[in-house]
Structure formats: structure tokens, C-alpha cells
Amino acid sequence: MGENLIPNNSNGFDEVISIIENARENAFRAVNRELINMYWDIGEYVSRRVSEGGWGKSVVKDFSNFIQSRYVGIKGFSPQNIWRMKQFFETYNGNEKLSALLREISWTNNTLIMICKTEEEREFYLTLAAKNRYSSRELERQIDSSLYERTMLSEITNKLITERSEGLTALRDSYVLEFLNLPENHKEKDLRKAIVGNLKKFILEFGKDFTLVDEEYRVQVGNTDFKIDLLFYNRELHCLVAIELKIGRFKPEHLGQLEFYLEALDRDVKKANENPSVGLILCAKKDDTVVEYALSRSLSPALIADYKLHLPDKRILENKLRELTELVESAIDDADDV
């Protein structure tokens, strides 16, 4: 019997597997870029013919039938999709800044982003989708949850409240957890268990650079054990992220508890090559004035955020974002006049 040259595990082939996966990824990206380029060129062609007055709905329908009869089995050339190609070209024509990003994501994701109202919002989702390689379902959830408005509001609000440390840039001041399917009257342990049980969806909302270390993470200080509700690690920021869950309204004493945990993590858990730990208090409600007072003298990299168990009203967020933006712009103008 000959010697079995195949190892019992794949450890000996990891490098080869990596080469294959990289090649497959590069091939997929190349094919996707060519597909987007084709849709762009067709969109430009249709846009030109329509503007010249020679094309309408009936001609586009004939064009669709012609393409599909010539290339039997080809998909993506319905009249509706051809009109989308026209809209795609007209939406981004002349915008060199976004040109490369368009070709890094799928056509389906492009069609989802294309309907966003402003160029800033489209750029936000294009960047996010390309960086995180979102599936169409993941991207649709982010758009439905008004992630753009929530992120912009968070950045403005946190600038008004306090200067953010670098470690807090990955955190927002509000999260939407509609996927937990929790009743309004729930306990902290219910919230924690639901997050862990829906970790993939929570990471989508929280950020794809986060990985869970443990729930009820134990730290020992002196002879006493303490438990941090959730401990994450952020790969991009290279730091531990402690999350304390509060089902009620934020209270100033919650911040003292979190700061204690951050000190314990930095002294006893953090590795030498890692950045200082950051903390997040995730509560059901908060008063921004109380938050501002609590954080004004705190030197710890901590943030207070609230969570919602239902998708937000996009119009309300848009109005609030507009009001805050005008407030900041007015403050800047007043400072320039001084």
C-alpha cells in the first residue's frame, strides 16, 4: 500500500488556496467592471438617442427585443433595465470622483444607490458598499435604515457635544436594532442574548470591522469579578470596544461604570501593540444635555448611544439633519464675522 501523500487537513495547502481565492476574486471584479462599463456605454448611447428626439418607449422596447433575440438567453436587457442604464449614465456623467467606485460594486447595488436623493448620499453608500463588499440584501437594509442620515447626524451631534478621540470614529450615537424582534418591555439580558443570537445582523449595523470577543466578559480587579456586557475588537482601529447595555434612560453614573471597565481592560487585557480601549453605553433613551454634561469632563474615550427597535422615519431624519447642518453653518459664519 502506497503512502498517503494527502494531509489530513488543509494546512499544507493554505497558501495555494489563498492564491486561488485571490485569482477568483480578481476575475470576478474584472468581469464586473466590464459589465458596468458596458451598461455605462449603452446608457450613454440611449441617452443621446433620446435627447435627439428619435427614441421613446416603443423604440427602447424594440431595442430590448432585438438584443434578446440576437443573444438568446442573455439577461439584463429588459426595457426597464435599459432605462436604468440611461439613468445610470445621466446620474454620474462627469463625476470622475465616483467613476472608480461605480465599477467596484455590482449592477444591482448600483441600481439601489442610484435612487438616493443627493450626490453626497450616493457617494456615502458607494464607498460603504465597495469597502464592505455588501450583498444587495445587506446594502438594501442599510439604505432602508437611513444609515447615511444617522451617520451624518451622529458626526454633527458628537462634534457639538465633545471632541471625539480617534478610537470613537467607528461608533455612532444611535443604532437601529429592528432585527432583534424584541418587545418594548424587555430586560437587559434579553437585549444581550438577542444581539449575540443575531450577531451577523448586529455586525452589519454596528460595523463589519468589529468581531465579538465575548458576552459578559469577566475582568478581575482586586478580589472582585466584574462582567462587561459585550466586548468587541475593532480590526481597523486595533482596539477593544466595551459595550454596556441599559434598557432605560442614560444616567451619569453609567459613565463611571464604563470608565472603570476601560481602565481594567487597558491595564490587564490590552496588548502592548493595541490602541487604548474605547467604550459605548447603548441605552434605550438619552437626554443630549445630560450626555453633554456627563462627557464634558470625562477624559475616557467613551460614547453614549441610543437604540431603536424599529426602522426610523427617513423624512424626520432628513429634516433633523438639515436643521443641524444649518445650525453648524450658521455658527461657522458667526465665528468668521467676529
Last residue of a domain, one of 104, 122, 144: 144
Give me the percent of the chain exceeding a pLDDT of 90.
67
In the chain, DSSP finds a helix count (H) and a strand count (E) of 13, 6
- At 325 the pLDDT is 84
- Give the residue from 130, 113, 110, 105 showing the smallest Cα distance to 33: 105
- Beta strands at 224-234 and 239-249: parallel, antiparallel or unpaired: antiparallel
Contacts of 126 (CB under 8 A, 6+ apart): 98, 101, 102, 105, 113
Structural domain contains residue 37: yes
Cβ(204)–Cβ(142) below 8 Å: yes
Same domain, 180 and 311: yes
Q: Is the pLDDT of residue 4 over 60?
A: no
Last residue of a domain, one of 125, 144, 163: 144
Same domain, 80 and 216: no
Residue 261 belongs to domain with CATH number = 3.40.1350.10
Same domain, 128 and 152: no
Structural domain contains residue 3: no
Q: Which three cell numbers stand for residue 34?
A: 466590464
In tens, the pLDDT along 176-197 reads 999 999 998 999 999 999 999 9
Structural domain contains residue 242: yes
The total of structural domains in the chain comes to 2
Last residue of a domain, one of 80, 115, 144: 144
305 - beta bridge partners?
Answer: 282
- Map grid coordinates 461657522 to a residue: 332
Quote the CA–CA distance of 304 and 9 in Å, as a whole number: 46
Structural domain contains residue 331: no
Q: By residue range, what is the domain housing residue 137?
A: 13-144
Same domain, 25 and 96: yes
Quote the CA–CA distance of 235 and 212 in Å, as a whole number: 11
Question: CA distances (Å), 90 to each of 40, 46, 116, 118, 206, in order?
Answer: 9, 10, 14, 14, 34
Residue 281 CA, distance from chain mean position: 19
pLDDT band at 6 (very low <50, low <70, confident <90, very high): very low
Structural domain contains residue 336: no
Same domain, 114 and 221: no
In tens, the pLDDT along 69-118 reads 898 878 889 999 999 999 999 999 988 888 888 999 999 999 999 999 99
Same domain, 276 and 287: yes
Quote the CA–CA distance of 213 and 237 in Å, as a whole number: 15
Same domain, 198 and 236: yes
- At 8 the pLDDT is 54
Same domain, 69 and 190: no
Same domain, 85 and 172: no
- Map grid coordinates 444587495 to a residue: 136
Which one-letter amino acid corresponds to residue 300?
A: S
pTM comes to: 0.83
- Give the residue from 212, 208, 205 showing the smallest Cα distance to 232: 212
